[in-house]
Amino acid sequence: MRPSVINATGGKHALSLVEVVISIAIIGILASIAILSLSYVVDASKQSVGRDTLEYMNRAVLHYSQAHAQIGIAADLGTEDEFGVIALLQSRDTKLPGSPYLSPEMQFQSSSSTEEIRFYWNGKFFRMYLKGTAGTGVSLD
């Protein structure tokens, strides 16, 4: 049985199989374009959030350095240095206004996945590995 559509004059006009297949193909092409565009938007937004987080972390380092001396934690190949700096910046010092310099609510995890943005300590500031770049660092939960 063929599907039918009532036209403006009230008569019936049946859709052929070719018309249905072409309609489905067009919908599929439009959907694939939309999904591809959406993936680019998601990647761009993750990079934007990563840059904002990096700026926030480096401002915390700067504020800590202005109140104390520079952070004396050397860079290493693992993530112990990153977690040490983060713990230092998240600690509360009741003698100094402005601390903690980094929100204690920010939770980080160690990661070497090239599928996510990671942050690493270079001895003076935090830097960022973008998606697709190899390297071990910390990422936000």
pLDDT recorded at residue 11: 59
pLDDT digits (tens, 9 = 90+) for 107-130: 999 999 999 999 999 999 999 999
CA–CA gap between residue 65 and residue 114 (Å, rounded): 31
Rounded CA separation 24/1 (Å):
19
Q: At what angle do helices 80-90 and 17-67 cross, to 10 degrees?
A: 70
Q: Is the peptide bond before 104 cis (omega within 30 degrees of 0)?
A: no
What are the tokens at 133?
């770049």
Q: Give the span between the Cα atoms of 2 and 52, in whole angstroms.
A: 57
| pLDDT of the residue at 1 | 54
**How would you write the pLDDT of the chain (141 residues) with one tens digit per residue?**
555 555 555 656 778 899 999 999 999 999 999 888 888 898 899 999 999 999 999 999 998 888 887 888 888 888 899 999 999 999 887 777 777 888 899 999 999 999 999 999 999 999 999 989 999 999 987
Q: Tally Cβ neighbours within 10 Å of residue 79.
A: 21
- Give Cα 80 distance to the centre of its chain: 22
pLDDT at 98: 75
CB-count exposure of residue 117 (10 Å: 0-12, 13-18, 19+): buried
At 4 the pLDDT is 58
State the chain's maximal CA–CA distance in angstroms. 86
